Amino acid sequence: MRLRVDALPRSSGDAGYQTYADTVLVVDTLRATTTAGVYLEQGADSLYLCPDLETARAFAGEGVVLAGERNCLPPEGFDFGNSPLLAREARFDNRTVVMSTTNGTLAANAACETGKHVILASLRNAHGAARKARERSSEEIAILCAGNAGRVALEDVYTAGVLCEYLLAMGDFTLDDGAQIALTVRRQFADPMEPLSRSRSAENLVNVGLEADIAVCAEVSSSTIVPVFTGRSGVALIFRAA
Amino acid sequence: MRLRVDALPRSSGDAGYQTYADTVLVVDTLRATTTAGVYLEQGADSLYLCPDLETARAFAGEGVVLAGERNCLPPEGFDFGNSPLLAREARFDNRTVVMSTTNGTLAANAACETGKHVILASLRNAHGAARKARERSSEEIAILCAGNAGRVALEDVYTAGVLCEYLLAMGDFTLDDGAQIALTVRRQFADPMEPLSRSRSAENLVNVGLEADIAVCAEVSSSTIVPVFTGRSGVALIFRAA
């Protein structure tokens, strides 16, 4: 089986775009894929990932929670931002959480264009997500890092390395160059708070007073909830706990 | 001054494309930017980098050497492939070498779209290229890795790390996430042959019997020749030794 790490998402229109043959783990550690998992942990029935705010707002209604961010902060009229800390203090039982974030949503869309199985992964659910990917895949597991505004994100490459380590403990893989780089980065930092704090994404959170989110995103395998792609509603991608 | 490493090139049409504010070091260690330097070392007057074979062939004529590769091998009717080993055994005095390679040419074009100063860098000219970049830049040095067919290349990220180390010895920089990753990868491998041999690019070279090129590409700072972008001729990018 092949293990592949893509440092950034590409869309089908981009130069050098390559399709996903099998399973894709989408990683946006600070914070979209972390927070997505927390909504499901806190009782949400499903997550709708929307590419833009207008699409998200169109789902507003009874039983729906609008959540997301632009420049780290909740968009106007939204019920929640993208904070795993605040999400963990609330309950979302039987609710649909409609999310729109910048980097994570873009990466999830790139994965769902061609991937057979798409899973949202973070440090918090790393072990569960790796196990689920291993179960479902027969040919290739790709880890797709969301990055930060088109630039490689240290925290996502680190998380990809943690996922690679779990996967290597579960079976044999041939590693692509991206996976070798991610493992090198993972082995460089014993404490996950270190790469997360040094990242540009962390700097952006500090600038808006949301630095307490970083410690929640740095928890390793504290959750067993794994959001898995189940279908679409218009342009929204639907994820449910598996 | 900012120090930035981009693991892959993006074109202005791609999602997440970001412009280059200042100086760009283009890296395609296996083999385009290595071989480009060797042509200049061996007497070539200038290099023309062409995006496709037809453009390259249109320059054919007296004093012109056609060089390049598709799938690692010389295209039909070309005088040379992309082998630094073979290039080093020839002389190109007062010749124009017209090159067309896959990944390196794409990256050079992405850099020249917006970069003020564009330099071709490899392990062989790493110290000279870093010094030239430092001299010319006032705001940002970006290291743009060519990658391999749209995927991150271990050897390019390693070379980017070597360039970052030289630059950090020359002055203060704020490092982006990509630069932190490149430095981590560089520090992981004491012997440059190790990351170069483990890469997918190396595998491709072994498959066509060109593995002897790898050792030439792994020489660190054995050359002081630095190819610098000086202008265009149609869609060809012109580089000369500086």
pLDDT, one tens digit per residue, over B72-96 is 899 999 999 999 999 999 999 999 9
Give CA–CA dist A54/A37, Å, rounded: 23
Chain position carrying tokens 């990809």: A160
Structure tokens at B242: 């500086």
Asked if pLDDT for residue B18 goes beyond 90, the answer is no
Judged by average pLDDT, the poorest of A18-22, A46-50, B23-27, B175-179 is A18-22
Task: Tell me what pLDDT residue A10 has.
Answer: 85
CB contact under 8 A, A150 and B18: yes
Cross-chain Cβ contact B150/A10 below 8 Å = yes
Instruction: Report the residue of A184, A185, A186, A199 to disrupt the B interface, i.e. the one with the largest count of B CBs within 10 Å.
Output: A184
pLDDT above 90 coverage of chain A, percent? 93
Q: Nearest Cβ partner of B16 from A6, A149, A180?
A: A149
Q: Which residues pair with A23 in a beta bridge?
A: A117, A141
**Residue A15: pLDDT band by 50, 70, 90 thresholds?**
confident
- Whether the pLDDT of residue B130 is over 90: the answer is yes
Contact B116, B138 (CB under 8 A): no
Q: Which of A6, A150, A188 sits opposite B16 (nearest CB)?
A: A150
Res. A233 pLDDT band, cuts 50 70 90: very high
Report how far residue B42's alpha carbon sits from residue B101's, in angstroms, rounded to the nearest whole number: 19
Residue of A11, A17, A152 best to disrupt the B interface, most CBs of B under 10 A: A152
- As a whole number of angstroms, the distance between CA A121 and CA A27 comes to 5
Torsion of CA B210, B214, B215, B219, to 10 degrees: 140
Chain B, window 94-123: residues with a beta carbon less than 8 angstroms from a chain A beta carbon: 106
Size of interface A-B (CB pairs under 8 A): 110
CB contact under 8 A, A181 and B178: no
pLDDT at residue A130 in the model: 98
- Bridge partners of B73, per DSSP, are B70
What average pLDDT does chain A have? Answer: 96
| Residue entry with tokens 């050079």 | B108
Q: For residue range A184-232, what is the model confidence (pLDDT) as tens digits?
A: 999 999 999 999 999 999 999 999 999 999 999 999 999 999 999 999 9
Reply yes or no on whether the pLDDT at A18 is more than 90.
no
Q: Is A18 on the interface with B (CB under 8 A)?
A: yes
**CB-CB neighbors (< 8 A) of B11 in chain A:** 14-15
Q: Of the candidates B8, B148, B180, which has its C-beta nearest A154's C-beta?
A: B180
Segment B120-149 mean pLDDT: 97
With 90 as the cut, is the pLDDT of residue B11 above it?
A: no
Contact residues for B138 (Cβ-Cβ < 8 A; gap 6+): B1, B22
pLDDT digits (tens, 9 = 90+) for B182-230: 999 999 999 999 999 999 999 999 999 999 999 999 999 999 999 999 9
CB-based contact B140:B21 (threshold 8 Å): yes
**Closest alpha carbon within chain B to A155:** B177
User: Helix, strand, or coil here: A127?
Assistant: helix
CB contact under 8 A, B176 and A200: yes
Q: Which long-range contacts (CB under 8 A, 24 or more apart) does B170-176 make?
A: B170/B130, B170/B131, B170/B134, B171/B1, B171/B134, B172/B1, B173/B1, B173/B2, B173/B3, B173/B141, B174/B1, B174/B2, B174/B3, B175/B3, B176/A151, B176/A200, B176/B2, B176/B3, B176/B4, B176/B5
Higher pLDDT, A241 or A10: A241
**ipTM (interface predicted TM):** 0.95
Q: Do the chains contact at B181 and A150, CB–CB below 8 Å?
A: no
Q: How far apart are CA B59 and CA B141, in angstroms?
A: 32
pTM: predicted TM-score of the whole model, two decimal places: 0.96
Characterize the bridge pairing of strands A236-241 and A46-49: antiparallel
From the list B5, B17, B177, the residue facing A200 with the nearest CB is B177
Give the pLDDT of residue B75.
Answer: 94
Q: Please determine, for residue A125, whether its predicted confidence score (pLDDT) is greater than 90.
A: yes
Q: A73: which DSSP letter?
A: B
Residues whose CB falls within 8 Å of the CB of residue A148, separated by 6 or more in sequence, listed in order: A103, A199, A200, A201, A204, B177
Residue B15: the pLDDT is 72
Confidence check: pLDDT of B137 > 90: yes
Per-residue model confidence (pLDDT) at position A122: 98
Q: Which domains does chain A have, with CATH numbers?
A: 2-241 (3.90.1560.10)
Who's near A223: CB < 8 A, 6+ residues apart? A37, A38, A41, A124, A125, A128
| Residue A11 confidence class, pLDDT cut points 50, 70, 90 | confident
- Interface check A11 vs B, CB under 8 A: yes
**pLDDT value at B10 more than 90:** no
Both tokens assigned to B129: 């290229």
pLDDT at B159 over 80: yes
Two tokens, residue B109: 């074009």
Per-residue pLDDT, averaged over A83-87, amounts to 97
Bigger pLDDT: A2 or B242? Answer: A2
A164 confidence band (pLDDT: 50, 70, 90): very high
